[in-house]
Amino acid sequence: MAKKRVVVKIGSSSLTEKDGSLSLTKLKEHADAIAVLVNEGMEVILISSGAVSAGFRDLGYSSKPVTVSGKQAAAAVGQGLLIEAYNDAFNSYGIVCAQLLLTRDAFVNQEQFSNVYQTINELLKRSVVPIINENDSVAIDELTFGDNDMLSALVSGLVNADYLIMLTDINGIYDANPNKDLTAKKYDYLDFISDDLIKQTSELSSSKVGTGGMKSKLLAAQTALSLGVNSFVGLGAGKEKFLEILTEKGDGTYIGNHQTHHIRKQKQWIAFHSQVCGQIEVDYGAQKAIISKGKSLLPAGIKEVNKSFECDDVVEIIYQENVIAKGQVNYSSTELEQVKGMSSEDAMRVTNRKRPEVIHRNKLVLTLQGV
């Protein structure tokens, strides 16, 4: 089998006992299966929930806390216990693991985003298994990934993974709730995830211990696919479970196709993580050049500049009140006010620049409205 880079996401429901506490037996079973992939020469990144489950009892709680402060305190205690359990499980295979606790800020900031990528790559180069979780003990609602399903999708895109495996408590995606509807049809393969399917199957998970149901996994799979990563949603058992999933013998739903292409790291950041600082309204010729021909945005096609922004900020490109693209600008808003509508030659002369592109095509991504 060719060397692969695989992201495995294990949720709380696959790591806990019935009372919500961490199951060391289940954790060891997952580590055993990951070790099989590592021994096959694959690079594995683990996105693991379970910090709150690991820590709440040591804080004196009889069950998982429901308050934000209680959850964050339990996560603070549990993160150390969780990584210790994984270390013990992987040690028997001679595998070293590393813990990365991420916040949304690490993706929003372009430099931090690049640093996360470099750190994970260095760990993989040295045959270490990175174990990643959101830093729940300090995260705030406005700056979270939402759940580890979405975190796993964004990480899989960042590292250009070959596959994203999301284990859950149901054997794939259905067109209705199989626990309530005996005629529910299972999807073995899906080329893409539509918004209608997400609405249709939004509450299929029976999980009571995690934050992500089937809807969150569909959203994550949709995001992963847009980043060029195929995924699997379903069950797995035994030491060979991840190997079986990668050879299309898994009990679940496979999402994607062979035509997927990875997205460059810079374009990922622009499309999914950057903060929009302003807008540029363009004419028909510019929108056609951008959408149909994949061209850069030039000064001649600019009609209006909205809000104040600086060079290297990210802005939206607007055509007839629709957002058609996002991009990282080479001009400030003040400069663009001076050169909008000008020919490239005149714009370069006015700004004393050697290149005319307002947004180079390598720093420009189409939005859903623009595709």
Give the whole-angstrom CA distance, residue 257 versus residue 191. Answer: 6
The CATH number of 275-370 is 2.30.130.10
Write out the chain's pLDDT in tens, 371 residues.
Answer: 446 999 999 988 888 888 888 999 999 999 999 999 999 999 999 999 888 898 898 888 888 888 888 988 999 999 999 999 999 999 999 999 999 999 888 899 999 999 999 999 999 999 999 999 988 666 655 445 668 899 999 999 999 999 999 998 889 988 877 778 888 889 999 998 888 888 777 655 444 444 447 888 999 999 999 999 999 999 988 999 999 999 999 999 999 987 778 889 999 999 999 999 999 999 999 999 999 999 999 999 999 999 999 999 999 999 999 999 999 999 999 999 999 999 999 999 999 999 999 999 999 999 854 44
Give the whole-angstrom CA distance, residue 226 versus residue 254. Answer: 15
**Any residues with CB less than 8 A from the CB of 43 and at least 6 apart, and which?**
3, 4, 5, 6, 124
Q: C-alpha distances in angstroms, 110 versus 45, 142, 269, 311?
A: 21, 18, 7, 14
Please report, for the chain, the start and end positions of each structural domain, with discontinuous segments joined by +.
5-265, 275-370
Q: 234: which strand partners?
A: 167, 252
Residue with tokens 């005149």: 346
Q: C-alpha distances in angstroms, 39 versus 238, 247, 288?
A: 16, 16, 50
Determine contact, residues 85/22, Cβ cutoff 8 Å. Answer: yes
Residues forming the annotated binding site for substrate?
49, 136, 148
Q: Which CATH class is domain 5-265?
A: alpha beta
Residues forming the annotated binding site?
9, 49, 136, 148, 168-169, 211-217
Residues forming the annotated binding site for ATP?
9, 168-169, 211-217
